[in-house]
Amino acid sequence: MSFSKILIANRGEIACRVIRTAHRLGYRTVAVYSDADAGALHVQQADEAVCIGPAPAADSYLNIAVLLQAARQTGADAVHPGYGFLSERADFAQACVDAGLVFIGPPPAAIRAMGNKALAKRRMVEAGVPCAPGYLGDEQGDERLTAEARQLGLPLLVKAVAGGGGRGMRLVRSFDELPEAIASARREASSAFGDGTLMLERLIDEGRHIEVQVFADAHGHAVHLGERDCTAQRRRQKVIEEAPSPVVDAAMRAALGRDAVAAALAVGYQGAGTVEFIVDAHLKHHFLEMNTRLQVEHPVTECITGLDLVEWQLRVARGEPLPLTQDQITFTGHAIEARLYAEDPYDGWRPQTGRVAGWQPDSTDVRIDHGIAEGGEVTPYYDAMVAKFVAHGSDREDAIRRLTRALEDVPLLGLQSNGRFLRDLVKHPQFTAAQMTTTRLDEWATQGEPLLQRPTPPDAAWRIAAALLAGQGGQRPASVSAFDLTLQCQGENRTQRAPDAAVQVLAWNGQHAQIGIDGVQCRITALQDGTRLHLCLDGAVFSFEEPSAYPKTDSAADPRRARAPVAGVVAQVSVLVGDTVVAGQPLVCVEAMKMEMWVNAAAAGSVKSVNVKPKDPVAAGAVLVELEIAE
């Protein structure tokens, strides 16, 4: 099973990650890209790159025929699927094998066995791996699912059997929520995976999400590389991962590892895989699912083991035995990974798109895996995760301290991200005390937790911004020694006197400024992007500009026009021309970056026009529906 050139059937940071190890080991690499990714970092880093179609994933990264053609065109003899997209599609793995390509992943039969989550749980029950109660049946009518849900009791999860990454999953705490949970989970699963089959699973409340990294080869050997704690989640999406888990002792680690290896052997697994467990308040673990691929959070395992998991994948794919036996695998220190998302955590995790104005990941000693670059675009077509900060320390406290500093020192500028939220989360008392649960962040969102309140610019930020912008005012007469400067930030206007005798700009290279303020010198990130000045203080980014003398009217506030909240793809249209609607009634659902957002009627009236249909791409602010407002 020799190979020399690897096509990476993915994009973004995981494509860059695979390229890095492949090049180190002497392999040539081929990137693929959609029209939206023509200038992406993974395209620049690969030896060759092939355009595979339009921006929507269904027309590019999920198009098996086009990917195989790219392999033929470039002479690639192996395919690495990364994670997401086609990485857990048995038909893709089989198509690669049939085309004479080495698939760097498990055999198609193992993907099939674990890819259907209902069938996987049945296999685990047979293998003696503990599982949470649920409904795994083939009968998929709403009536049967509702009856099974009532028998299981609340709370429960509605899950796509072909799902992954939180897609096609809905939490139900009231039976009133069940019909919409079934409908939306089925719709999202059909869109993302081409399979709307659902299963039900009793939710273990106050649980922790703990998973085990496993590896198996073609010679019958299987090992585990320890556990990862992925409990800090929002809307079933992981936010922070760490290894080892702060609640797992040696005996529990042995039990988790034993069951994870048994799960892998039960399906004839090969390569990298992750067995996920939910752990209850009594620290009893229950099988959730097995992800038949490399995980987003694999770097924390690499940090504590000193191993390169992509290298192990390539070696196993070549037919080599595992490099180490179980007793040769050791763990050192503690590692924490924080996922940087292009989203607004202070506005319901709303996805964000736009141009990257500033991004300097090489300015810290903490490992940052990413696939973005200054001047590049974050588009609505793919996952909102743009980077991963990974800190390794001698212990958990050491790792948290290193991670905190990196999040403060390496901000993403130009569009909203969750960077400051991540910094605050890893410093939160419940996180440092290892008291998080999988639903804690969602609970905080409804309780007004200060962690989820948008930071406001401190007085020092206004003064520093005024000092920097005043120094750029080349249009002002040199004879003017002092003047009033009006600035705008987060919807607030404030007038500052410039220059401020207590604020000195000692140096500014366009990215960082050395500031003297009230007798103290400090170094801060300060980037001027057109008319806007981005300042980063304590991990929070504040954007200042002088307000225009001709302010724009707020067309978004017009109740007659329902507009797209972000750029995305229309998932559902629930009204027709002529329909009567009431205020708050759902009109159109827009999907962007794995999130569905409903656009509701701002006032009562009737539908004058519907400008979109399902699967249409839409720009942010596009008029979706026009209404005649009732008198």
Task: Indicate which CATH number applies to the domain containing 73.
Answer: 3.40.50.20
pTM reported for the whole predicted model: 0.88
CATH number of the domain to which 150 belongs: 3.30.1490.20
Q: Which residue has the tokens 């529990």?
A: 252
Round the average pLDDT of the chain to a whole number and report it.
92
- Output the pLDDT for position 516: 96
Residue where a domain stops, chosen among 179, 202, 225: 202
Residue 53 reports pLDDT greater than 80:
yes
SS3 label, residue 234: strand
Q: Which range, of 11-25, 166-180, 424-438, 456-470, averages the lowest pLDDT?
A: 166-180
Whole-angstrom distance, CA of residue 292 vs CA of residue 63: 20
| Same domain, yes or no: 50 and 84 | yes
568 confidence band (pLDDT: 50, 70, 90): confident
Measured between alpha carbons, how far is 474 from 591 in angstroms, rounded to an integer? 45
- The confidence score (pLDDT) of residue 432 equals 98
CA atoms within 13 A on the CB side of 80: 35
Domain count of the fold of the chain: 5
Same domain? For 272 and 384 the reply is yes
Find the CATH number of the domain harbouring 342: 3.30.470.20
pLDDT at 170: 92
CA–CA gap between residue 100 and residue 16 (Å, rounded): 25
Please check the confidence at residue 594 and state whether its pLDDT lies above 80: no
Residue predicted with more confidence, 364 or 41: 41
Residues 221 and 274 in one domain: yes
Question: Do 272 and 289 fall within a single domain?
Answer: yes
- Cα separation, 8 vs 183, whole angstroms: 34
Pair (214, 361) in one structural domain? yes
User: Nearest CA to 70 among 56, 83, 60?
Assistant: 60
pLDDT for 252:
97
Percent above pLDDT 70 for the chain = 97
Per DSSP, the residues of 49-99 read: EEEEESSSGGGTTT-HHHHHHHHHHHT--EEE--SSTTTT-HHHHHHHHHT
> Is residue 122 in a domain?
no
pLDDT of residue 475: 45
State residue 620's pLDDT score: 84
If pLDDT is split at 50, 70 and 90, which confidence band does 551 have? Answer: low
207-250 per-position pLDDT tens digit: 999 999 999 999 999 999 999 999 999 988 999 999 999 999 99
Same domain, 213 and 341: yes
In-domain check, residue 527: yes
> Mean pLDDT, to the nearest integer, of 593-622?
89
pLDDT at 630: 84
Phi, psi of 219 (to 5 degrees): -110, 15
Q: Which of these ranges, 57-71, 169-183, 582-596, has the smallest mean pLDDT?
A: 582-596
Structure tokens at 613: 């249909």
Q: Is residue 114 part of a domain?
A: no
The answer to whether residues 44 and 171 belong to one domain is no
Which pair of structure tokens corresponds to residue 113? Answer: 């066995």
Residue 591: pLDDT band with limits 50, 70, 90 = confident
Same domain, residue pair 277 and 423: yes
127 belongs to a structural domain: no
Q: At 576, is the secondary structure helix, strand, or coil?
A: coil
Using DSSP's 3-state secondary structure scheme, residue 271 falls into strand
Count other Cβ atoms within 10 Å, centred on residue 400: 19
CATH of the domain at 539: 3.30.700.40
Q: What is the pLDDT of residue 480?
A: 60
In the sheet that 156-164 helps form, which strands lie side by side, from edge to edge?
134-135, 198-202, 156-164, 167-172
Q: Which of 293, 420, 423, 563 is catalytic?
A: 293
Q: Which residue has the tokens 């009634």?
A: 585
Establish if 87 belongs to a structural domain: yes
pLDDT score of 133: 85
Residue 88 belongs to what domain range? 5-104
Q: Which residues contact 618 (CB under 8 A, 6 or more apart)?
A: 564, 567, 568, 569, 570, 590, 612, 624
Domain boundary among 202, 218, 253: 202
At 430-478, the pLDDT tens digits run: 999 999 999 999 999 999 899 999 999 999 999 999 999 987 654 455 5
What value does the mean pLDDT take over residues 4-28? 98
Say yes or no: 309 and 372 in one domain. Answer: yes
pLDDT score of 4? 98
pLDDT at 554: 52
Q: Is 402 a catalytic residue?
A: no
The pLDDT value given to residue 440: 94
Residue 113 located in a structural domain: no
231-241 pLDDT per residue, tens = 999 988 999 99
Q: How many CB atoms lie within 10 A of CB 485?
A: 21
Nearest to 201 by CA among 167, 152, 250: 152
Distance separating alpha carbons of residues 87 and 80, to the nearest angstrom: 8
> Is 52 domain-assigned?
yes
Q: Note whether 187 and 49 are same-domain residues.
A: no
Residue given tokens 């249009």 in the structure block: 475
pLDDT in the model for residue 297 = 97
Q: Of 374, 392, 369, 373, which Cα lies nearest the Cα of 82? A: 369
- Asked whether residue 48 carries a pLDDT value surpassing 50, the answer given is yes
User: 246 and 170, same structural domain?
Assistant: no
463 found inside a domain = yes
- What percent of the chain stands above pLDDT 90? 77
pLDDT band at 121 (very low <50, low <70, confident <90, very high): confident
CATH code, domain carrying 585: 2.40.50.100
Does position 160 have pLDDT exceeding 60, yes or no? yes
- Same domain for 220 and 188: no
pLDDT of residue 477: 53
Tokens coding 85: 């997209």
3-state helix, strand, coil in the chain (%, to 5): 30, 30, 40
